[in-house]
Structure 1
Amino acid sequence: MEQKAHFVTVATSDLDEAREFYVTGLGWLPTLDVPGEIIFFQVGHGLMLGLFDARKFAADLNVSGSAATASAPNPSGFTLSHNVDSPAAVDKVMADAATAGATILKTAQPADFGGYHGHFADPNGAVWEVAHNPAWRVEDDGTVVLGTPND
């Protein structure tokens, strides 16, 4: 298996609320929207974010019993990260997310890695980090460089 991923899919307990947040609130454009099932957004070079109705997600995984009919638990143990060019851009994205209905988990502030960041949860609990890291960059070929503050 090659070291790459093309989709990140998150089980979503309320797909309509997720659509409202991302499309109406944040202004994202869906690549594919199947009402009642899944909505896809292209979020990077060759990378899609899928928000999948929790019940359909469970069925797709062949999960039976109460797990297949229950709402998805809030996603935990991971963050989706959005990196921007400046601390001011972090503040703007965090404010826009809050206006769109996000819950601010950590207000934007200086970070241990030498940058500036904050965290919010979308209406279904998916956690986003918004960060400015002056040592982090993406090369033209898509390679991510994780430098140190002294780079």
Structure 2
Amino acid sequence: MEQRVHFVTVATRDLDRARDFYVDGLGWIPTLDVPEEILFFQVAPGLVLGLFEAEAFAADLGAGTPVLPAPTGFTLSHNVSSPAEVDRVLAQAAAAGATLVKPGQSAAFGGYHGHFSDPNELLWEVAYNPGWQVAEDGRVSLAPVEE
């Protein structure tokens, strides 16, 4: 198996709230929107985020699969170009209906970050990391930040 991911799909308890948040609140443009089933967003070259209505998600997994609770133990991270941009994105998300989990602040990795959860409790980090570099071919490098 090659080391790559094309889709990140998350069971979503309220797809309409997710649509309101991401499309109307954040201004994201869906790649595909199937009402009452799934909503896809192109989030990077070759990477799609799918928000799958939880009942349909469970049905797709097969008979007897319970509807899953909100995802825990991971974050999706949105990296930006400055600490001020972290604060702006956190404010935009909160205005769109997100819950601010952690306000923007200095981070242990040497940058600046904060966290919010979307209306379905999907946890996001918004981060400025001066050691984060993305090459033209899409490869990411993380260099330690000198303090």
Name the TM tier (shorter chain): over 0.9
Is 2:28 aligned against 1:32? no
Gapped regions of structure 2 (runs ≥ 5): none
SS of alignment partner, residue 102 of structure 2: strand
Cα deviation, 1:72-131, whole Å, max 9, x if unaligned, reads: 411101100000000010000000000000000001100000000000000000000000
Deviates more, 1:55-64 or 1:119-128: 55-64
Residue matched to 2:117: 121
SS of alignment partner, residue 21 of structure 2: helix
TM-score, normalised relative to structure 2: 0.97
Q: How many angstroms does 1:137 deviate by? A: 1.1
Residue matched to 2:130: 134
How far, CA to CA, are the matches of 2:135 and 2:28 in structure 1?
24
Residue matched to 1:73: 69
How far, CA to CA, are the matches of 1:63 and 1:129 in structure 2?
34
How far, CA to CA, are the matches of 2:27 and 2:50 in structure 1?
16
How far, CA to CA, are the matches of 2:115 and 2:98 in structure 1?
10
CA 1:103–1:2 in 2, change beyond 3 Å: closer, same or farther?
A: same
Q: How many angstroms does 1:63 deviate by? A: 4.5
Q: Could you list the runs of 4 or more consecutive aligned residues of structure 1 that deviate by over 4 angstroms after TM superposition?
A: none
How far, CA to CA, are the matches of 2:24 and 2:93 in structure 1?
11
The two structures, once aligned, show a CA RMSD in angstroms of: 1.2
Is 2:104 aligned against 1:108? yes
Is 2:57 aligned against 1:61? no
Q: How many angstroms does 1:62 deviate by? A: 1.1
Aligned AA (1:126): L
Q: How many angstroms does 1:45 deviate by? A: 1.1
How far, CA to CA, are the matches of 1:20 and 1:76 in structure 2?
22
Residue matched to 1:84: 80
Residue matched to 2:5: 5
- Number of positions where the alignment pairs a residue of Structure 1 with one of Structure 2: 147
How far, CA to CA, are the matches of 1:63 and 1:111 in structure 2?
44
Residue matched to 1:21: 21
TM-score, normalised relative to structure 1: 0.94
Is 2:141 aligned against 1:145? yes
Aligned AA (2:21): F
SS of alignment partner, residue 3 of structure 2: coil
